[in-house]
Structure 1
Amino acid sequence: MTDSAFSSDVEAISSIDAVPMILSMVKHLTGMRFAAVARVTDKNWVACAVDDSINFGLKPGGELVLESTICHEIRQHQQPVIFGQASTHPVFSQHHTPKTYGLESYISIPIVKANGEFFGTLCAIDSVPANLDEPAIAKTLTLFAQLIAINLDTQKRLEATKVELNNANELGRLREQFIAVLGHDLRTPLSAIRMSADLLETRTEEKRSLNLIAAIRNSSTRMGVLIENILDFARGRLGGGIPVQRVLVDDLQQTLQQTLAEVQASHPLAIFESTLNLPAGVHCDALRISQLLSNLLGNAVTHGSTATPIVLKAYAQNDEIVISLTNQGVPIPAALMPLLFEPFSRSEAGQRGEGLGLGLYIASQIATAHNGTLQVSSTLDAGTCFVARFPARFKWA
């Protein structure tokens, strides 16, 4: 029996339901009593399927010495070999294979895959002569060999698809575990830090200690934003996008005003101007829109000029909600513009600043999840302006 190196080939042929019928048809067409599918390499001849009525002695997995077979030569020239009576044949009457195995009739057709790889042969043998002169015999066996090759190619594609599917399922399982573990393992110690800061604040009035506690609280707030950004990045890139739950919201304007107030409190040196005029009944995820605005505001504070105001406008226009944010300062470099809404784009473009460079990516993903867009323009005269648009249903009073 052959070793495990060829067990997959034997299994592949045995899994082709048509092979037993093909071998039976080969015997019927040729009148020969032994038919087989053989795997032929540069070192081995292995029977993968056998239909034996002469007790030749081969079973699936059985081997012949490669050099003792004609298939060794067929593997090199990849042409059929056919003779009906070896003892009178001008070439094969002196060939070692018929003499070794006592053969009179022989037919062997190469099995070649679509990529040109030689798999082996479809062959038939007998110890008595056979009439193999009819051209239809060779043509029919060639079609049988092609059918086997097609099935082998199909099997390979199916196996590759199964592997990809299994990998995708495993990746999905690991993705969910990663997001869950990331959220728990990062949020839990951060909550402990915040609670500790609150507790310390109630137990001291010393100014230096209060300043340190405030620094801890501000740092934990920034850390919280980073954690949420990382989680959203994981959901967006490893999952099906950042999830949103769109409902009819009557107080989006109030939500955006509160978001602006929180950023103002965290950045007392920044100057803000806002004009908010939004209707009730906006179809959106208010918390996600708040996050979008918070990320845009944070970006403007970090990269804009502190000497000029950051201008926020939010309004309805042609059945859309428009949120625009403009700041002055150094224009965004042209090299960075194509990367601006990609994750970690700041480091890729050689920019330096706080954060991981996820804020604009997440803002863009939130706009996309609302069937909207986030666009940017940046010039020295007009400043840098981000404009988010998304469709909304209105419930006018």
Structure 2
Amino acid sequence: MLSLIKNPTTQLSSDIHVDVLAINRIPIVSQLLDVVCRTTGMGFAAIARVTEDQWVTCSVKDSISFGLKPGDELKVETTICHEVRQKNEAILIDDVQKDPQYFDHHTPVIYGIQSYISVPIYRKDGSFFGTLCAIDPKPARIKTPEILGMFKLFADLIAFHLQALDEKNLVIEELKEEKQTAVLREEFIAILGHDLRNPLATTRMSAEILLKVAKDEMTKRQAGIIKSTSFRMEKLIENMLDFARGRLGEGILISPKTDNPSLLKTLEQIIKELQTNSPERELSVNLVLEQPVHCDKNRVGQLFSNLLSNAFSHGDEDTPIFVEAGTRDGIFSLSVTNSGDEIPETALKNLFQPFYRQDHKPGKQGLGLGLYIASEIAKAHNGTLKVSSSKKEINFTFEMPLS
């Protein structure tokens, strides 16, 4: 008659509890244990989580009223599964009374079993999980290659499903993190778009009022500095917004239209604004659009502003900056050329990477996003942004299809 000695421990560790739940989430477990009992003729089959000091039932098929249910625990030292874990090999017993190794073993005596089989289950990383086992109070013929092969196959199937569940749980956790990141992203963009730009607009408006009403030159000069600084801050904020959208959100969005006069007006306005802040700089401008250009004029203007600002900041102050825009052979091109120190080959490879900054004059460094944003705008127009550098000049050229 079968007897049962449960471990008095009433609460499982969180890890063991998770493993028990995982086994019971595998859809084939019930059928698998049923096949084990039908094939072997044994009345009890189970998947057990076995550690150095615990034996816990994960799932069970019991037609002999052995009395275990999922989550129940036996004293591990009273089980043969304990030895399976130690030896890392399967143990099969047809008839305890006739088995020279186990005829006087304490486990059959304690639990009143005559036939027994236990095969180790290993996770895909090689760690020991537990056993697939079966017992019966009567002898059974289980020491056959077919029975052992079936148990090993089932143990591999269980390991496979455990791995699949682990991967699924990992994906779920990653999705949770992505959702949290999305919330932070939206908050970040909202702060940049509203909480920083609004006070900046107020600062610029105040500077413009001072420029109009100030009587002395010192006040006008300081107000002019505040105004030009506000333009620079606005550009930094816009670049950060576009970086956040491009890397964390929906990407650089464009709304292309065909409107050459409006595009020309946008480019001319950008030149006027930058020259207002640096009236001493000489520009040579040639803008001729003889064919329709289908583009987002505001985004192209932003690209141009980033390139021209870069030339103002880092070009030779004693030489002119050349700006050209034109249409030819189905291509719209826009270029900015200035004199300055030759850009090293290693730096040329990284100019369009976010947050990349060369060593420049003090106070002239930005966030390192201007050229990155410009290159992303070029890509959004199915175009290219290229740079060339020599000892004489540095040239940035944007090209895109006219339509």
Q: TM-score surpassing 0.5?
A: yes
In the comparison of the two structures, how many residue pairs are matched? 390
- 1:83, 1:89 within 8 Å by CA — same for their partners in 2? yes
Matches for 1:55-66 after TM superposition, within 5 Å: 55-66=65-76
What is the aligned partner in structure 2 of residue 164 from structure 1?
174
Say which of 311, 325, 328 aligns to 2:322: 311
Per-residue deviation, 1:133: 3.6
**Aligned partner of residue 49 in structure 2, secondary structure:** strand
What is the aligned partner in structure 2 of residue 42 from structure 1?
52
Matched, 1:3 2:3: no
Q: Which moved more, 1:123-132 or 1:160-169?
A: 160-169
- 1:111, 1:119 within 8 Å by CA — same for their partners in 2? yes
What is the aligned partner in structure 2 of residue 261 from structure 1?
272
Per-residue deviation, 1:226: 1.4
What is the aligned partner in structure 1 of residue 331 from structure 2?
320
Say which of 186, 198, 208 aligns to 2:218: 208
**Aligned partner of residue 354 in structure 1, secondary structure:** coil
Per-residue deviation, 1:203: 4.3
Per-residue deviation, 1:2: 4.4
Matched, 1:223 2:233: yes
What is the aligned partner in structure 1 of residue 194 from structure 2?
184
The Cα offsets for residues 248-277 of structure 1, whole Å up to 9 and x where unpaired, read as 223223322222222222211111112111
When the two structures are superposed, what TM-score results if normalisation uses the length of structure 2?
Answer: 0.92
- 1:187, 1:227 within 8 Å by CA — same for their partners in 2? yes
What is the aligned partner in structure 2 of residue 123 from structure 1?
133
- 1:322, 1:389 within 8 Å by CA — same for their partners in 2? yes
Question: C-alpha separation between the residues in 1 aligned to 2:50 and 2:385?
Answer: 60
The Cα offsets for residues 55-88 of structure 1, whole Å up to 9 and x where unpaired, read as 2221110111122211122123322211111121
What is the aligned partner in structure 2 of residue 331 from structure 1?
342
What is the aligned partner in structure 1 of residue 7 from structure 2?
none
The Cα offsets for residues 104-150 of structure 1, whole Å up to 9 and x where unpaired, read as 10011111222222211111011221122443222222222222111
Say which of 106, 110, 116 aligns to 2:116: 106
Question: C-alpha separation between the residues in 1 aligned to 2:119 and 2:385?
Answer: 63
Q: What residue identity is the alignment partner of 2:175?
A: L
Report sequence identity in percent.
Answer: 46
Q: After TM superposition, what 4+ stretches of structure 1 lie above 3 angstroms from structure 2? A: 198-204, 349-352
Per-residue deviation, 1:280: 4.9
Matched, 1:368 2:349: no
Cα RMSD for the two superposed structures? 1.7
**Aligned partner of residue 345 in structure 2, secondary structure:** coil
Per-residue deviation, 1:180: 1.2
What is the aligned partner in structure 2 of residue 78 from structure 1?
88
When the two structures are superposed, what TM-score results if normalisation uses the length of structure 1?
Answer: 0.93
Matched, 1:297 2:327: no
Q: What residue identity is the alignment partner of 1:164?
A: E
Per-residue deviation, 1:29: 1.0
Structure 1 unaligned residues grouped into runs of 5+: none
- 1:32, 1:126 within 8 Å by CA — same for their partners in 2? yes
Question: C-alpha separation between the residues in 1 aligned to 2:213 and 2:319?
Answer: 40
What is the aligned partner in structure 2 of residue 141 from structure 1?
151
Matched, 1:53 2:63: yes
- 1:371, 1:390 within 8 Å by CA — same for their partners in 2? yes
The Cα offsets for residues 199-220 of structure 1, whole Å up to 9 and x where unpaired, read as 4445442332222222221221
Matched, 1:384 2:400: no
Question: C-alpha separation between the residues in 2 aligned to 1:299 and 1:201?
Answer: 27
**Aligned partner of residue 107 in structure 1, secondary structure:** strand
- 2:314, 2:360 within 8 Å by CA — same for their partners in 1? no
Question: C-alpha separation between the residues in 2 aligned to 1:51 and 1:210?
Answer: 90
Matches for 1:14-33 after TM superposition, within 5 Å: 14-33=24-43
Q: What residue identity is the alignment partner of 2:304?
A: L
Question: C-alpha separation between the residues in 1 aligned to 2:117 and 2:28?
Answer: 20
Say which of 183, 202, 205 aligns to 1:195: 205
Q: What residue identity is the alignment partner of 2:26?
A: I
Question: C-alpha separation between the residues in 1 aligned to 2:68 and 2:185?
Answer: 50
Q: What residue identity is the alignment partner of 2:246?
A: G
- 2:260, 2:289 within 8 Å by CA — same for their partners in 1? no
Question: C-alpha separation between the residues in 2 aligned to 1:125 and 1:351?
Answer: 79
Change (3 A) 1:200 1:313: closer
- 2:45, 2:62 within 8 Å by CA — same for their partners in 1? yes
What is the aligned partner in structure 2 of residue 69 from structure 1?
79
Per-residue deviation, 1:10: 0.9
Say which of 353, 356, 361 aligns to 1:345: 356
**Aligned partner of residue 305 in structure 1, secondary structure:** coil
Change (3 A) 1:77 1:185: same
**Aligned partner of residue 336 in structure 1, secondary structure:** helix
The Cα offsets for residues 201-244 of structure 1, whole Å up to 9 and x where unpaired, read as 45442332222222221221221111112111211221232222
**Aligned partner of residue 349 in structure 2, secondary structure:** helix
Question: C-alpha separation between the residues in 2 aligned to 1:266 and 1:198?
Answer: 13
Per-residue deviation, 1:310: 0.9
- 1:2, 1:46 within 8 Å by CA — same for their partners in 2? no
Question: C-alpha separation between the residues in 2 aligned to 1:43 and 1:248?
Answer: 76
